[in-house]
Structure 1
Amino acid sequence: MQERAIKTREAILLSAAEVIDELGFRGASIKKIIERAGVTPGAMYFHFPSKEALAHAVMLEQGEGLDLPAGEDGLQRLIDTTLYLAGELQTNAKLRAGVRLAIEQGEFGLQDDTPYQQWIQEFAVQLHAAYRKGELLPETNVDDLAWMLVSSYSGTQLLSHISVGRADLHKRVITLWHFLLPGIANPSVRKRLTFRR
């Protein structure tokens, strides 16, 4: 794809994310998206044949462009990642819209758990590293834990969003970890974990 076409596609995706973040799938009209992106209808339909296809792309690409925390793989890096994502969910329109669409996808005829599976895989990488390093209790099923953590995190961010517009999301994610860690982490490891933004 030519550089200009790539930039046009990105502008459409970002504009769609902003409008969907504000208004949801139903309220986000193609006209509003095109106006915000500053493109023609032809450019829009060249890249995305329908509003549904555009919404699906926003949902699937929600994590692109994120700068996940660096560091040694393991439990601390996973905690840092979840707190980083809490911050991004307060400010990043693309991530927020992607998460919203993953919840609202029935409204545009989809049933696609790909975004959730992507985060499960991302979290599982850190959990497998933590297991190999002895940070997790020996009986921990890492793949089940990754699934449970993503589902719990998803519910936590959703309730925080509904309740206070995600204003307390960092605090809620830290609370999630405080309840989760005694059941999964080696006690000596728990003492050295930190919860900084």
Structure 2
Amino acid sequence: MAQQDRAIRTRRLILEAAASVFDDRGYDRATIAEVLERAGVTKGALYFHFASKEQLALAVLDEHVLDIAVEPQQIKLQEFVDVTQVLAYRLRSDPIQRGAARLAVEQGSNHLDRKRSMISWADFVEGLLIEAKGRGEVLESVAVRETAELYVGAFAGMQMMSQALANRADLNRRLTVFHQHTLPSIAVPAVLARLDLDPERGAALDAVLKAGLLADATH
């Protein structure tokens, strides 16, 4: 068990180092040597987990999708808002999220298939919206898949603009403005009135989630 835990920690260390390099340098300019230096691991340890730079990048993109899990809410649309606000907050400093964000939207490189990441995020959002619609929270006229893809594409653009103008420090506020403009065309009025769109919600939820993970790790 101790060996397995060590392997999990090593893999995470490598992923975070790789994501940091991708965030700083982009996919094409990133090197395995830089990842090894930042992770402080041997080449053998890295290749035990990842066979290539492409596998490293794809793992970072996959982690980007899997790493956000908020507490269940009575209103499913609130969970959707919460996921986006936590992601927006983590994009300020979390190496996995920052590295994955650059990989997902970076232009000019043809050496990495980015479709999987975008499709995975759209699938994730679609799942939340389908469940919300099943609960009667979403207007019947809403095309769920199109709406999911709209949100994923818009979020990608918002985080790029926020990165250019404010190093993503204002991303949660920008996201709240976007929700204020778009949710009235998605949510039924009674649900819309109950949604908490506070831009500070992302930071608060992230603190709760990390506290829960820490408690789980100590038991």
Gap change, CA 1:106 and 1:72, over 3 Å in 2: farther
**1:49 match: secondary structure:** coil
Identity %: 39
Pairwise CA distance, 1:175: 0.9
Pairwise CA distance, 1:105: 7.3
Pairwise CA distance, 1:190: 1.8
Match of 2:193 in 1: 191
Match of 1:163 in 2: 165
| Equivalent residue runs for 1:1-197 within 5 Å | 3=4, 4-72=6-74, 74-104=76-106, 107=109, 109-196=111-198, 197=201
Gap change, CA 1:93 and 1:108, over 3 Å in 2: farther
**1:63 match: secondary structure:** helix
CA–CA separation in structure 1 for the residues paired with 2:68 and 2:53: 24
Q: Which runs of 5+ in 1 are unaligned?
A: none
Number of residue pairs matched? 197
Gap change, CA 1:5 and 1:133, over 3 Å in 2: closer
**1:61 match: secondary structure:** helix
Pairwise CA distance, 1:170: 0.8
**1:60-95, CA deviations, whole angstroms, 9 ceiling, x for partnerless residues?**
222344342432352111112111111111121101
**1:82-139, CA deviations, whole angstroms, 9 ceiling, x for partnerless residues?**
1111111112110111121112375261233111222212212221122122222221
Q: Which runs of 5+ in 2 are unaligned?
A: 202-219
Does the CA contact (< 8 Å) of 1:75 and 1:135 recur in 2? yes
**Higher alpha-carbon deviation: 121-130 or 23-32:** 23-32
After TM superposition, which residue ranges in structure 1, 4 or more long, deviate above 6 angstroms?
A: none
CA–CA separation in structure 2 for the residues paired with 1:62 and 1:88: 10
Which amino acid counterpart does residue 105 of structure 2 have in structure 1? I
**TM-align CA RMSD:** 2.2
TM value normalised by structure 1? 0.88
CA–CA separation in structure 2 for the residues paired with 1:126 and 1:72: 13
**1:114 match: secondary structure:** helix
Match of 2:216 in 1: none
Gap change, CA 1:166 and 1:126, over 3 Å in 2: same
**Higher alpha-carbon deviation: 66-75 or 134-143:** 66-75
**1:6-63, CA deviations, whole angstroms, 9 ceiling, x for partnerless residues?**
3332221111112222332244322221122111122223332322222222122223
